[in-house]
Structure 1
């Protein structure tokens, strides 16, 4: 498990304050299981409030900034394996080539990925996962779904998690204590990076995170080519 309720919802800070200009989702169509989803959301929020967030705050407090950056770079480098895999499946060969180049340079000159040397070289990162791959080939997202201990998802993205799992290099670490340590450190790193981002949440947290997640997923699947629509009251 890589994060909790805020994980993917707050990844939408890439769209940032543009939420006000994003499409208005039909709740009954996108979220027909809202009652159940809200119950799971509240459970995840409780776990996050009393466990993950305090741990992330402690991690940020005791870890020097340069070490935090190195840890983040390390796990981002590992994720490039999945990025390359899914770029190939989507026939995005240029993106796959860039991902492979990033993985090569960062794993060698970047000392196992702790230093991001690829970005200053002008090799941009493309984030792809199997949920995006399914969306690329026309698989509908299905209803919105909140997964216990995981957070925002959809039926399509939830089903894709198993493929994302087997394409993650950490799962192939044979030494169990090392593998579990890497999982825990990745989780702490991901949660700590959301401490500032979550401050943009306003109003109904559940609705905000749901809409942010769905908008962000549409944005990623369409490579940013998303038409902006407004409701009649905007």
Structure 2
């Protein structure tokens, strides 16, 4: 809890750097963090992910992605339970049990073969939205994926409290899983990255709007009635994550 308290305190202190743009009140600060994260991505993460995709067979890439996703099911279970969504809790439990056993630790996704419920992410950011924290501004932190301020707080709770992996794995195991997840996920976004540079004059704005639209869709699909944000939401289906999945399936 000490680690989480420190993380939360740091987030709250950074929140004092708010600007005046109602659509993105922390934009001045966010752009600085975006520049740092982008530089780190270009010199380290992107080359690693590019090399990984070049030497990794599709079946291995898919299997690792399935295994990492399967490890998030306990988090989904915990947050579904916190939200009182019993059916969703049972569905996540069903998926986790079958994929962990018959799916060889999650390497094989048995959703189609066993007619399992579809994977549905649930995290503490969603739990906070469920209990009333519906509106939240875009807020970046160094070394972390882009999220809203609410979801950054939720990430801290998931990492240190609601994710059973923190209790079941040692630090080395957590680092290995996080590294595989990061490289695997970044590899999925390589094509989307190319597209964003082709169609966007401002990659920061492209990333911000894509992430927020995708997150708003996730919340609405989970039954959380959130207000419309003052971003460009004309196309609610447009997101970096969706583009990555489409390219992965082609």
- TM norm. shorter chain > 0.5: yes
- Distance apart, 1:228 and its partner CA: 8.2
Of residues 165, 168, 187, the one that matches 2:163 is 168
Gaps of 5+ in 1: 1-26
Residue 200 of structure 2 is aligned to residue 205 of structure 1: no
SS of equivalent to 1:29:
coil
Give the match for residue 180 of structure 2. 185
- Structure-2 separation of matches of 1:230 and 1:190: 28
RMSD across aligned C-alpha pairs, in angstroms? 2.5
Give the match for residue 219 of structure 1. 217
Cα 1:154–1:55 change in 2 (3 A) is: same
- Structure-2 separation of matches of 1:222 and 1:117: 26
- Distance apart, 1:65 and its partner CA: 1.1
- Distance apart, 1:194 and its partner CA: 1.1
Give the match for residue 110 of structure 1. 103
SS of equivalent to 2:179:
helix
Higher RCO, 1 vs 2 (CA within 8 Å, ≥6 residues apart): 1
Cα 1:67–1:33 change in 2 (3 A) is: same
- Distance apart, 1:118 and its partner CA: 2.7
- Structure-1 separation of matches of 2:39 and 2:105: 36
Cα 1:136–1:176 change in 2 (3 A) is: closer
Of residues 41, 56, 65, the one that matches 1:48 is 41
TM-score by length of 2: 0.75
Give the match for residue 57 of structure 1. 50
> Is the 1:141–1:155 Cα contact (8 Å) retained in structure 2?
no
Give the match for residue 137 of structure 1. 131
Give the match for residue 124 of structure 1. 118
Give the match for residue 3 of structure 2. none
> Is the 2:73–2:92 Cα contact (8 Å) retained in structure 1?
yes
Give the match for residue 71 of structure 1. 64
Give the match for residue 148 of structure 1. 142
- Structure-2 separation of matches of 1:40 and 1:229: 22
SS of equivalent to 2:146:
strand
- Distance apart, 1:177 and its partner CA: 3.5
Give the match for residue 23 of structure 1. none
- Distance apart, 1:169 and its partner CA: 4.2
- Structure-1 separation of matches of 2:98 and 2:66: 13
The superposition leaves residues 41-67 of structure 1 with CA deviations (integer Å, 9 ceiling, x where unpaired) of: 011000000100000011111111111
Give the match for residue 6 of structure 1. none
SS of equivalent to 2:104:
coil
